[in-house]
Structure 1
């Protein structure tokens, strides 16, 4: 999972891009980068690490210009090396920088196409490098008979890109001397929104993965970028948009609402916080069906994403709610740590139990999800060591049984604790007395309650149904062989 941001401003944008990336840091902690444009020259700085560590004073001062794009990353496709940090840059045609959130599913096909048809060499394993070269190639063809570019030429390039690329992609790119372009895949799997603020010097525009980046910087939210749509904001601040896909349909990722997004964000006109409260009510009904409520003394959230669901569950069931697991906020999110050993070490550094709250009590722990189960196991052991008599474990998400190929690091079925296991077997694996999962239909209702125009979701990690239609055992075998 990654985050992207782009700004067309009326004054230097380096600090604004930096502040936006800080607000989006939860979506990726492996690498960060910013590319700005000044006098038709790009200034680019990127490296591995957190935003606050990557951008020292000299780096910030080097990022000149009134427009630019930014990115925070954790690796899904490709490696976690510094060379795959974003934004990416190509010099032809016109000069382009690009930031991408998502994951492409036909990378081998695209790599072969670029080499055979355009003699373009891809130097990394990043699908984002493929994406910028596909766009550059299409922009080159669309502008072949012209000595200039305009909105129509750019929209044509995006339309042709949609025909070739499969998977999830929310993209922000900048073309030297022209402006910023943003677009989503035809399903709108990954989030992207835009807004503006009025300043003394004129209107400024921002595009970002989550609305929290806009609101946190004083921008007014306009709306989400639609599936298949492209928007263009030129260097003068003029805005245009066009639908560039043949059959667009909003099918957003369900896991965004459960885990990735910040609770203070709006996504497809849905308040993440309100949706998670609703998830808590539905989960409470599952708990009431499964456990004698007299056997639960306290409800404890596993911070942070599960807090709204846990609070609402406790309120709904009239059970005491306790913040009995304290989080060290200087440790990254364990689910998106790149490897098991770093995740395992991080759990012990990240959480500490308040013993007096657990001693001689039956506890219901609430988490947003159970993915690999390693973190859940260590937390259950921690709570038992703190004196709990019984430990029940409730997940605000259904069983994660299948890999997600659209931008979440779940590449292997064997890593997923719920794959081919019953709830009883899962409970035994994480040493809980019982495990309770959210019902998938209830999870969907939690979101549709606030936007009933969303008729479908990408729920592939729960139901194994891949909306791009190109995922099979051969695809997973190729990924497994590549990783090995």
Structure 2
């Protein structure tokens, strides 16, 4: 993608099922679990650029010794920082590096249960206090709770109100803080329920504590609080006594995968990450299904429990296009299919003139879609060759046959991602001029004034870099026509489930539609959408309607694309510029298993999504386009 969309969060969890001495003997280190956590987090570094954190629970720590360890850090180097701090703590504790039993009792971070998190804020809130895992402390191990996740809740106000109504006094309004208090309260109630039961059975205090730690019902802790959650989420937690869980939203908006054998249980946001870290085959990694919760209790027993019944399945398609690692077998195939489905539109745009068209991609995320696009074009060209040969029949000379067989799709690496230039010292036009050089070109790949140049990107959201850099630098090759192709459809609506796309005014498709309405004397449509949106601001989220769809209704996708091309073409561009977007039909054909398309269609899977887009439009109209609207 030419302009970076701030990333989603990533989660990683590890539960060792054997004593640390087992891993010392088999793998040469009792830090086997910590090492696997590092790999899982490093392989998901694309998901967290703002901060990272890890936590460890020790099952066998003695009284007066710490049983929960946590490290958090800010910045793009956060993973290295937190694991460096852990290494220093271990090295600064005098010990025999082969004594796994002593390490299990006394050494920092030598535990059995691990949690890791990679964070990118989608709320505008930042700072170390917002970096997961969050920790709720207590004097009983079973009352301690660590929480992290990949999520945004659209109804924090309702969740906040529900816990305030119970008499709690949350210290923050942020969704993670609120969930920590809500689930922490549910954990307290479960502890109290078990305490009352075992006390009535006549157990002593130490026996009661052990019985509670061994019999916490994680499913019951989650069931009641989660009933009012509206959002896309994977919520991960650990208790201080050693229970571990990972819970996916009932619509499957956010992803989670796991692997388990008799030695270890591993959870992560992406499948190939687990494959690489654990060296296992694709069929050995399973996906957590909507509404399911993976639970590993203190005794190391794992089971999957259905916490919430599955609802309208809405796994996020944009995540597959942009955020997920392309090394996944299915994602790689899907991204190629996205490129393949664009071939008919591209051929029409170049008037089927493959002989005078060069095909390239915007590095590096669109490369896989480029391969698929080339395959689609090759299929067309093969049919054309076959038709010409059949038409000529037996009168075809060897020279003519060679000429037909020599026809090929011309592909080149035209655009090159150059070093990120520092533009902070420049102002105004000087800054824009420097920004134009973020990309470079391969000279001599295009015949000036003769060739068309087709360049594919994985998504065009804001269009800023296209206007400031990409189109300007491609125009230096003097192609007859520049065609920018997006492997995803037009992003028309904001997100509210964990991707930082929440402001209407950021989207070039929205700007184009608004301009078209004004140019065609249809200001009344804008005014009416604002009136209807404003009128429903105080309605319950279940009653809110997405009237913003009416902004786009008068126009075809091609009309909006044409306007986008006009808006992104500055006066100094000599080539004709055209923008082609993937269709919704092409998206669903290429990625059939991920039908969530609200960015493109406005069909939000939860009521909170309609409220989000409603408020986003009102804020845009009123000039208060805030980072996130509840």
* TM-score normalised by structure 1 residue count: 0.87
Secondary structure at the aligned position of 1:407 is classed as coil
Give a deviation string over 1:298-336, Cα, whole Å, max 9, x none. Answer: 2111122211111121232132222232336999xxxxx
Contact 1:299 1:320 in 2 (8 A): yes
2:424 matches 1:424: no
2:368 matches 1:308: yes
Work out the number of aligned pairs and report it.
Answer: 458
More helix as a share of residues: 2
Contact 1:181 1:232 in 2 (8 A): yes
Root-mean-square deviation over aligned CA pairs? 2.8
Of the candidates 53, 58, 66, which is equivalent to residue 112 of structure 2?
Answer: 66
Residue 64 to residue 359, structure 1, CA distance change in 2 (3 Å): farther
Residue 475 to residue 24, structure 1, CA distance change in 2 (3 Å): same
2:377 matches 1:317: yes
Give a deviation string over 1:277-298, Cα, whole Å, max 9, x none. Answer: 1111111122223332316522
**Structure-1 separation of matches of 2:271 and 2:171:** 33
**Structure-1 separation of matches of 2:237 and 2:74:** 21
In our comparison, the structure showing a higher alpha carbon Rg is 2
2:331 matches 1:237: no
Contact 1:358 1:383 in 2 (8 A): no
2:64 matches 1:16: no
Shift of the alpha carbon at 1:424? 0.9
Shift of the alpha carbon at 1:459? 0.9
2:121 maps to: 75
Shift of the alpha carbon at 1:112? 2.4
Of the candidates 329, 342, 352, which is equivalent to residue 283 of structure 1?
Answer: 342
Moved more, 28-37 or 61-70: 61-70
Secondary structure at the aligned position of 2:353 is classed as helix
Contact 1:344 1:374 in 2 (8 A): no
**Structure-1 separation of matches of 2:346 and 2:454:** 9
Secondary structure at the aligned position of 1:445 is classed as helix
Moved more, 422-431 or 53-62: 53-62
Moved more, 177-186 or 377-386: 377-386
Contact 2:41 2:79 in 1 (8 A): no
1:370 maps to: 460
Give a deviation string over 1:62-83, Cα, whole Å, max 9, x none. Answer: 4442321111111112413222
More strand as a share of residues: 1
Shift of the alpha carbon at 1:366? 0.4
Residue 145 to residue 236, structure 1, CA distance change in 2 (3 Å): closer
Instruction: Spell out the pairing of 1:6-405 with structure 2 (5 A cutoff).
Output: 6-9=13-16, 10=20, 11-12=30-31, 13-38=33-58, 39=61, 41-50=67-76, 51-55=78-82, 57-62=84-89, 63-92=109-138, 94-123=143-172, 126-147=174-195, 148=212, 153-196=217-260, 203-220=263-280, 221-265=284-328, 271-294=330-353, 297-318=357-378, 319-327=409-417, 351-358=439-446, 360=448, 361-377=451-467, 378-405=469-496
Give the gaps of 5 or more residues in structure 2: 1-7, 21-29, 90-108, 196-211, 379-408, 422-430, 514-559, 570-575
Secondary structure at the aligned position of 1:65 is classed as coil
**Structure-2 separation of matches of 1:346 and 1:262:** 31
Secondary structure at the aligned position of 1:369 is classed as coil
Moved more, 383-392 or 13-22: 383-392
Contact 1:172 1:182 in 2 (8 A): yes
Contact 1:300 1:321 in 2 (8 A): yes
Give a deviation string over 1:32-54, Cα, whole Å, max 9, x none. Answer: 11111223622111121124543
Contact 1:172 1:181 in 2 (8 A): yes
Residue 68 to residue 209, structure 1, CA distance change in 2 (3 Å): same
**Structure-1 separation of matches of 2:34 and 2:433:** 34
**Structure-1 separation of matches of 2:315 and 2:194:** 37
1:336 maps to: none
